[in-house]
Structure 1
Amino acid sequence: MATMKDIARIAKVSTSTVSHVVNNSRFVSDEIREKVLAVVKQLDYKSSALARSLKMKETKTIGMLVTTSDNPFFAEIVANVEHYCNQHHYNLFLCNTNDDPQRLEQCVQTLMQKQVDGLLLMCTESHFQAKLFKLTIPCVIMDWWPAELSADRIFENSELGGYIATKTLIEYNHKDIAIITGDLNKPLAQNRLNGYKKALLEYNLTVRDEWIIESHFNFDGGIAGMEKLLKLRERPTAVFACSDTIAVGAYQVAWQQGLSIPQDISIIGYDDIKLAQYIAPPLTTIHQPKATLAKVAVTQLLHRIKNPAENYRTLRLNPTLVIRQSVKKLSD
């Protein structure tokens, strides 16, 4: 494999001149530049990204740790993160933790060994034992991380989202409103439940324990939660599904039991994944600003890489309501 020394020898210039031409790091006369580039082409020289990264003490790579399930929400976030990394000429190393605390620790070690310039963290492992990760590189937490960590954080106001979802059902004249949550050991699930309770109490509606169904943020979680609700003697007229995947599972159970949405039961979801607009009927849901979350996270991480001594920042993004056809307005 050709080296800069080979090019310098054939072109009869110094190695530093070859480096300046290849990396465009300093002015070189057109005559010398053309001479060097001709030899570069002749030898089919490819510069070593690894050698350059070791010299510059950067690899132009970002690591991302993300919990994966069958929730398309994560896939949409990752796609947006990769898009913004590419815009800044960074490569993304993705590690899926599969909601496994042991795998999470292994992934951290793997990314550190790859010498990534920074880390994006989006993990919800509820049984994670909070221990001090000696992360000496810049990090940005994207909403979820199971332990205390000195890092920038960007999170979605999930309590507000839970409040908006429940308030919407109330404004459609529903008073008997159930909720199917994710694992309540996860702050995200607890926050959405808090928003649900806040809206009910604000409108002087009873918070009924039997209508609070703890489940998981996936399709199976929606199936299990909806089955529990429909076995109750007193059924709710509306359900707040704390993720769109939960809502899709709930749709499946309603269909299996001969119920029509929203004529027999109304459902509102959370996340506004792309699938939400294509199921029948299209799902009314709470929109998370996924593209904005990804863009701000990447931008803040790159800023942190260049400015490691600045104070850590916490940024909050607010969700919004997307009205479709899965909620029926009851008569007064």
Structure 2
Amino acid sequence: MAATIKDVAKMAGVAVSTVSYALNNSPKISEETRRKVVKAAEALSYRPSGAARNLKKRKSETIGLFLNDLGGPFYSQVIEGVQEVVASHDYNLIVCSTYGGENSSANRFLREKFVDGAIIMGSAIPDSLILQVAAESFPIVVLDRELKADYVHSVLIMNEQGAYDAVKHLIKLGRRKIEFLSGPLAAYDNSKRYEGYKRALKEHNLPVPAKISMQGRYLEAGGYQAVKVMLAGNRLPDAIFAANDEMAIGAIRALREGGVRVPEDIAVVGFDNISLGPFVRPTLTTIGHSKYEMGAIATQLVFNVQKDENSIMLPTQLVIRQSCGFKQQNDDQDETSILHEGRRGLG
């Protein structure tokens, strides 16, 4: 296994930040300390590719956007927001999938600092790697994920409040047996949406299921299969709150194939307000937020990592369509919204 900056710091008997300063010829570090760090780095065959570029006063002028999945309708708007800000700084953008785990291109680009800054969405890149690289004064912003470190910025969605609004809306429509269709159990956004779901049920004195019984991994096919299993077990709720729209769309297809009417028998609400929502039948009630804004703000933070505000919270809004019981009155006015304000932009 290749040596890390922490290994160098341990051998040299200094802090990780001191190694970074020494390898970048910072005037903050004495010549004696610099020699000690360089000697340890050479002994461990440590190859600080990013530091070497900085020593030569060269940059890649490229920002990396690292996503769990490059497919699906969700990411295109995030990429658009990132691209616009990157272009305004005359930089290039590279988008990588984290598929492949430790050996993925995204992990390698981050570890070797082949880019000048990184925006990360998803949990496939471990916290330990993000914290290690960010500690080397490398700008990193995470999307819809929290890391307890002052030197890692985050852009968050009001996941818990949005989910609460979705379930409260179903309750107002008379739904009482509401199932949660979960994404990846360990995902930050999924856990927050689950908390909002439970809060709404508890506040209205409705029973909270003892465990999550449906999981769709944020995929349309996953939502479809989860609801197929539910129908086979003759376990019929009167509403489903899906943790994202793709699973909700898969759920509607499974219900329709099973002879279950939406919304008459079972109402369905999603989360994310993806572009397909108004085109499925029935049209999908969901929780909206600005994916473009998320990408744009994250990129602004990459270029301004000294910003005092460590995290930005973006608002959500309830978008009411047909899948939970309201009939559209006008195709041009199908999005009735309830907006919950977060911190928008960098002020």
TM-score class, shorter-chain normalisation, is 0.7 to 0.9
**Structure 2 match to 1:108:** 107
**Structure 2 match to 1:38:** none
**Structure 2 match to 1:133:** 132
3-state SS in 2 of match to 1:62:
strand
Query: Which residue identity lines up with residue 140 of structure 2 in the other structure?
Result: C
Aligned partners of 1:162 and 1:193 also within 8 Å: yes
Q: Does 1:289 align with 2:310?
A: no
Shift of residue 258 of structure 1? 1.9
Shift of residue 315 of structure 1? 1.2
Instruction: Work out the CA distance in 1 between the residues paired with 2:148 and 2:310.
Output: 17
**Structure 2 match to 1:313:** 310
Shift of residue 187 of structure 1? 2.1
**Structure 1 match to 2:172:** 171
Alpha-carbon spacing, 1:211–1:59, altered in 2? closer, same or farther (3 Å):
closer
Alpha-carbon spacing, 1:323–1:158, altered in 2? closer, same or farther (3 Å):
same
Aligned partners of 2:160 and 2:195 also within 8 Å: yes
Instruction: Work out the CA distance in 2 between the residues paired with 1:125 and 1:198.
Output: 28
**Structure 2 match to 1:124:** 123
Q: Normalized against structure 2, the TM-score is what?
A: 0.71
Q: Normalized against structure 1, the TM-score is what?
A: 0.74
Aligned partners of 2:161 and 2:196 also within 8 Å: yes
Instruction: Work out the CA distance in 1 between the residues paired with 2:174 and 2:57.
Output: 62
**Structure 2 match to 1:72:** 73
Query: Which residue identity lines up with residue 253 of structure 1 in the other structure?
Result: A
Deviations 1:30-89 (A, max 9, x none): xxxxxxxxxxxxxxxxxxxxxxx9976433311111110643212331232112322332
- Unpaired segments ≥5 residues, structure 1: 1-52
Aligned partners of 2:146 and 2:154 also within 8 Å: no
- For 1:224-235, list aligned pairs within 5 A: 224-235=225-236
- Unpaired segments ≥5 residues, structure 2: 1-53, 327-347
Instruction: Work out the CA distance in 1 between the residues paired with 2:292 and 2:92.
Output: 18
Aligned partners of 1:165 and 1:285 also within 8 Å: yes
Alpha-carbon spacing, 1:275–1:54, altered in 2? closer, same or farther (3 Å):
farther
Shift of residue 188 of structure 1? 1.6
Alpha-carbon spacing, 1:69–1:215, altered in 2? closer, same or farther (3 Å):
farther
Q: Percentage identity across aligned positions? A: 29
- For 1:1-332, list aligned pairs within 5 A: 57-68=58-69, 70-98=71-99, 100-104=100-104, 106-111=105-110, 113=112, 115-125=114-124, 128=126, 130=128, 133-135=132-134, 136=136, 137-144=138-145, 150-209=151-210, 212-304=213-305, 307=306, 311=308, 313-328=310-325
Deviations 1:267-302 (A, max 9, x none): 001001101111111101000221211121111111
Shift of residue 159 of structure 1? 1.1
Query: Which residue identity lines up with residue 173 of structure 1 in the other structure?
Result: G
Choose 229-238 or 171-180, whichever is displaced more.
229-238
**Structure 2 match to 1:28:** none
Query: Which residue identity lines up with residue 102 of structure 1 in the other structure?
Result: E
Max Rg structure: 1
Shift of residue 156 of structure 1? 0.8
**Structure 2 match to 1:4:** none
Aligned partners of 1:218 and 1:246 also within 8 Å: yes
Choose 254-263 or 285-294, whichever is displaced more.
254-263
Choose 67-76 or 250-259, whichever is displaced more.
67-76
Shift of residue 124 of structure 1? 2.0
Aligned partners of 2:228 and 2:254 also within 8 Å: yes
Instruction: Work out the CA distance in 2 between the residues paired with 1:144 and 1:224.
Output: 27
Deviations 1:100-142 (A, max 9, x none): 43244x423235656422111112229x584553343111111
RMSD: 2.8
Alpha-carbon spacing, 1:264–1:211, altered in 2? closer, same or farther (3 Å):
farther
Aligned partners of 1:125 and 1:146 also within 8 Å: no
3-state SS in 2 of match to 1:230:
helix
Aligned partners of 2:79 and 2:292 also within 8 Å: no
Choose 227-236 or 168-177, whichever is displaced more.
227-236
